[in-house]
A and B are shown apart, each in its own frame.
Chain A
Amino acid sequence: MKSKLIVNVSPHLHKDESVSKIMWMVVISLIPAGVAGVLIFGLDALWVILLGIVSALITEWIIQLLTKRRVTILDGSAFLTGLLLAYNLPAKVPFWLPVVGSFFAIAIGKQVFGGLGQNIFNPALVGRVFLVASWPKYMTTFTPPQNFDAITSATPLAIIKEGRILEKISYLNLFFGNRGGCIGEVCIFALVLGALFLFIRGYISWHIPITYTVVVGLFTYIFGQKGLFTPPLRAGAGFGGDWLLHILSGGLILGAFFMATDYVTSPLTRCGQIIFGIGCGLITAIIRLWGGYPEGVSYAILMMNAATPIIDRYTKNRIYGTKI
């Protein structure tokens, strides 16, 4: 008999699951959207993605070395942050932009709070919002899709925001990504593929992303131009009540399925997650319809991230044998 037996507290069985496996699964689910982005915008997109990832990994590595903590750059979480940040950038940006963005995302968005699991805000979105605030010109200059019958380089949402008339854009074009936009957000088809993979494997549930999407759709349908409350005189100037366009444009699908669902920064219970999804949907729709920006996904998710602790507090599960 062994002289030393292992003694620890039960349980003695563990599910075959790990944090890094989850992270890499999300990375895999994002591959189709990346491939689509490169096909649509060309090799520039690939460089932005690679720079974003490498810079995120190096930042994490250096900070962990400096703070004398264990280096965990292979756990997939920094990789995922870099990837998501790059997906939120236009394809033609100066090479230093993804580098600075990833640095900010990892250093300020994640490590300042204490690293994995400790951050309040989604790190990739912190990075993106920092870039939008600092270099708005680069962040809103979109390249036209190269291999498709190019329509326009501005995003559909930006065109609407400026009050111009959106021409020649079909839902099918939007669905397959034939439009201007950020690298990872344009091809809805690829994003839906990835999201389905995560659903089937049980890594995400419908509670946040579907609620989020449905609320944006409903809200823009009711309050959008040509919607219920729009005076008829402005009809024709926009796309009133066009909920499908709102769902298919901008970063809604990328945000709802891959960023709002971030475990660390979203509520723990199903009930909390539905509230979170509704909140994201409302804020996104309000910004898009009446705010200063054409797009509201990043801010909506970040604001709801901030609300997560309080949502958690008020959506505790009913414990067995107690009344609510």
Chain B
Amino acid sequence: MVRLEEHKTEAENKAIEKMPQPSRVYIPLSQHLGKICSPEVKIGDSVFVGQRIGSVQAHVYAPVHASVSGKVTFVQDWPHPALGRCKAIVIESDGKDNNSRTYEPTNLRTEIGEFTPEKIKKIVLEAGIVGMGGASFPTHIKLNPPKPVDTLIINGAECEPYLTGDYRLMVEKTKEILQGIELVARCLGVKQIYIAIEDNKPEAIKQFGVRSSQFLVKVLKSQYPQGGEKQLIKNILGKEVPSGKLPFDIGIVVHNVATVFAVYEAVYLNKPLYERVVTVTGSCISNPKNLLVRIGTPIKDLIDFCGPLKEEPAKIIIGGPMMGIAQFSDKVPVIKSTTGVLLFNEKEASFNEELPCIRCGACVRECPIFLMPTLISLASQKELWSQAKIYGASDCIECGLCNYVCPANIRLVQNIKRAKLEVIR
């Protein structure tokens, strides 16, 4: 693991700011791992905030909801931050923010004490909650592991440089996150709860430290990729997730703080997941911010809101700089898994020519999974898939560290990703 330049100072002290409603939202029907939703509204329909507008009959899926009230104007293909393009429902906002909430959140307090795990899981499913750290795996499935689990890890590591959204949530919404943790713990029936925070977030550690009793705050060294599920489990519990298995196989479930906060909102406020915190930063942005944004807002609106631009961006990244996805358009909307929008200038975006591997072994030393990235990459370039498999291509977590340290600028992650696909096939 490596200590990276953090670039967090730009936005870490900016309190979460509610961004004004956009005039139009583009809500992709796939914002999760699993089956794509079918639209449940048609052009011309009026929708209110939080109304379910897309769903599907499947096990692995999460419904999508309207994030503004207004009229459905289109259902069409639209740029998508992770999939390239995806069918999206376009809603023209009427600016009224009409809501569908059926009962007052303040009356819920006593009622929640009686909520069964089944009821909580149902609410989480209906709220369309997915893993908000970037993986976007439907949360209701992770609340319902096929085997009993005894340990819950709440991931507040936020090890990607630049991103500060989870940090702000932890500082500003500590109580709410703790209530969310209680709900998740009730669903899972766990014995131990850890809250993992990197040591570069002393304020967040203090906040949780003050209030903790049933859980343990684990302060971790800030190094990349500390927030990877497998790294967290190893560094907190000293256990390894067996190759090809998932954490629940060894009795562990990991949830991101933002996800837990969404669970809180869904249960206590009866609020589906239609907005989230997004960090907008990077050298081209003059006012980096942590914004509470409606899902479906085009990132151009976010950029304009933090503007004016210092310089023209040469690269727009959704997510962090290590695992985020470079975008071909600023039309892409914010989705449930959008943690940040980074604007890099020409210099930061430039990348050097790829040279032959000199076998310096930096990738081998830094790989958090202890793979030999250069050998997998070589096998991939030669299309020797059985070789790539022997070298453990499918265990790669795509953290990008090998590529980061490579002095020859070899596109190791790209090659290994390809090998992974072929090995799985």
Q: Which residues of A contact B (CB under 8 A)?
A: 1-2, 5-15, 17-19, 21-22, 115-118, 263-264, 266, 268-270, 312, 316-322
B372-A268 in contact (CB<8A):
yes
B411-A5 in contact (CB<8A):
no
B358-A321 in contact (CB<8A):
no
14 additional A-B pairs beyond A5-B327, A11-B413, A18-B352, beta carbons within 8 Å, are A5-B328, A6-B315, A10-B323, A10-B324, A12-B322, A15-B404, A19-B355, A19-B408, A116-B356, A264-B359, A268-B374, A270-B365, A316-B372, A320-B230
B230-A116 in contact (CB<8A):
no
Of B56-64, B178-186, B235-243, which binds chain A?
B235-243
- Closest Cβ neighbor of B7 among chain A residues: A13
- Please list the 10 inter-chain residue pairs (A to B) with the smallest Cβ-Cβ separation, ordered nearest first: A11-B400, A117-B356, A321-B243, A320-B369, A317-B370, A9-B414, A17-B407, A12-B321, A319-B392, A263-B360
CA gap between A116 and B354 in the complex, in Å: 13
Interface residue B149 (Cβ < 8 Å from any Cβ of A) = no
CA gap between A5 and B348 in the complex, in Å: 13
Cβ contact of A12, chosen from B230, B324, B362, cutoff 8 A: B324
Chain B residues contacting A18 (CB-CB under 8 Å) are 352, 407-409
Tell me whether chain A's interface is mostly helix, strand or loop, or mixed: loop
Interface residue B175 (Cβ < 8 Å from any Cβ of A) = no
CA gap between A10 and B325 in the complex, in Å: 6
Distance in angstroms from B343 CB to nearest chain A CB is 10
Chain A residues contacting B197 (CB-CB under 8 Å) are none
CA gap between A270 and B364 in the complex, in Å: 9
Chain B residues contacting A263 (CB-CB under 8 Å) are 358-361
Cβ contact of B230, chosen from A15, A115, A321, cutoff 8 A: A321
Distance in angstroms from A227 CB to nearest chain B CB is 36
Cβ contact of B321, chosen from A13, A15, A118, cutoff 8 A: A13
Tell me whether chain B's interface is mostly helix, strand or loop, or mixed: loop
Near A by CB (< 8 A), chain B positions 305-339 give 312-317, 319, 321-330
CA gap between A1 and B284 in the complex, in Å: 12
- Closest Cβ neighbor of B5 among chain A residues: A13
Interface residue B161 (Cβ < 8 Å from any Cβ of A) = yes
Distance in angstroms from B285 CB to nearest chain A CB is 13
Interface residue B403 (Cβ < 8 Å from any Cβ of A) = yes
A11-B323 in contact (CB<8A):
yes
B243-A320 in contact (CB<8A):
yes
Number of A-B contacts (CB under 8 A): 156
- Closest Cβ neighbor of B231 among chain A residues: A320
A319/B317 contact (C-beta < 8 A), A15-B404, A268-B359, A268-B372 known: no
- Closest Cβ neighbor of B403 among chain A residues: A11
Chain B residues contacting A11 (CB-CB under 8 Å) are 321-323, 400-401, 403-404, 413
CA gap between A319 and B240 in the complex, in Å: 10
CA gap between A36 and B55 in the complex, in Å: 77
CA gap between A118 and B411 in the complex, in Å: 18
B314-A320 in contact (CB<8A):
no
Cβ contact of B4, chosen from A7, A13, A317, A320, cutoff 8 A: A13
Chain B residues contacting A6 (CB-CB under 8 Å) are 314-315, 326, 349-350
CA gap between A62 and B417 in the complex, in Å: 38
Chain A residues contacting B313 (CB-CB under 8 Å) are 1-2, 5
A13/B351 contact (C-beta < 8 A), A6-B326, A7-B326, A8-B326 known: no
Chain A residues contacting B372 (CB-CB under 8 Å) are 268-269, 316-317
CA gap between A1 and B392 in the complex, in Å: 41
- Closest Cβ neighbor of B230 among chain A residues: A320
CA gap between A21 and B360 in the complex, in Å: 13
CA gap between A263 and B360 in the complex, in Å: 5
Cβ contact of A21, chosen from B316, B375, B407, cutoff 8 A: B407
What are 7 A-B pairs at a CB distance below 8 A?
A: A9-B411, A9-B414, A10-B322, A13-B404, A17-B405, A17-B407, A321-B395
Chain A residues contacting B406 (CB-CB under 8 Å) are 14
CA gap between A5 and B395 in the complex, in Å: 31
A13-B392 in contact (CB<8A):
no
A9/B359 contact (C-beta < 8 A), A1-B300, A14-B404 known: no
Cβ contact of B315, chosen from A12, A14, A316, cutoff 8 A: A12
A320/B370 contact (C-beta < 8 A), A12-B321, A116-B355 known: yes
Chain A residues contacting B242 (CB-CB under 8 Å) are 321-322
Distance in angstroms from A85 CB to nearest chain B CB is 19
Chain A residues contacting B230 (CB-CB under 8 Å) are 320-321
- Closest Cβ neighbor of B414 among chain A residues: A9
